[in-house]
């Protein structure tokens, strides 16, 4: 590879190749590539990692999540920590949502349906828990 010259045949992915790219810097930045399994096994997925995985910038990930345009997790605004010129946000990126989004198998409507179903499951679970507490309390009353 020659710096400050021409590089031939750079492969970006299977569909994109660049021919005769002129390099005018001594530093070539290469974005890390993650496999689906690597994403699943990460203890925490940052906006930087998600951006590298999707091929976009970490800023695009954070802004997309803040504006509910990127359904890969949750962005939480911590208003109590905001300063005069900066806002405080935290991000929770769900591996399976990120992977599904990359392959075009998830959209906001799909996410909303998943969340509604999870809410119904949680409600039913709570009802079952209350029934179990009631049954156990009746059983305890009968034993005394």
- pLDDT below 70 — which residues of the chain? 1-32, 84-85, 107-112, 144
Decide: 19 and 9 in contact? Cβ < 8 Å: yes
Give pLDDT, residue 79: 82
Please report, for the chain, the start and end positions of each structural domain, with discontinuous segments joined by +.
1-28, 31-115
Pairing of strands 10-13, 16-18: antiparallel
Give pLDDT, residue 106: 73
Decide: 95 and 39 in contact? Cβ < 8 Å: yes
Give the pLDDT confidence of 94-133 residue by residue, as tens digits.
999 999 999 888 766 566 677 777 788 888 888 998 988 8
pTM of structure: 0.54
């Amino acid at each position: 590879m020659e710096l400050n010259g021409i590089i031939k045949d750079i492969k970006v992915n299977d569909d994109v190749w660049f021919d005769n790219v002129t390099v005018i810097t001594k530093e070539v930045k290469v974005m890390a590539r993650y496999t689906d399994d690597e994403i699943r096994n990460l203890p925490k997925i940052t906006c930087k990692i998600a951006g590298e995985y999707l091929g976009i910038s970490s800023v695009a990930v954070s802004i997309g999540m803040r504006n509910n345009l990127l359904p890969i997790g949750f962005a939480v605004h911590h208003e109590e920590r905001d300063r005069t010129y900066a806002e405080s946000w935290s991000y929770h990126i769900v591996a399976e949502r990120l992977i599904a989004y990359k392959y075009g198998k998830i959209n906001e409507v799909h996410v909303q349906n998943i969340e509604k179903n999870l809410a119904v499951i949680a409600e039913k679970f709570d009802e079952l828990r209350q029934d179990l507490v009631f049954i156990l309390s009746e059983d305890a009353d009968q034993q005394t």
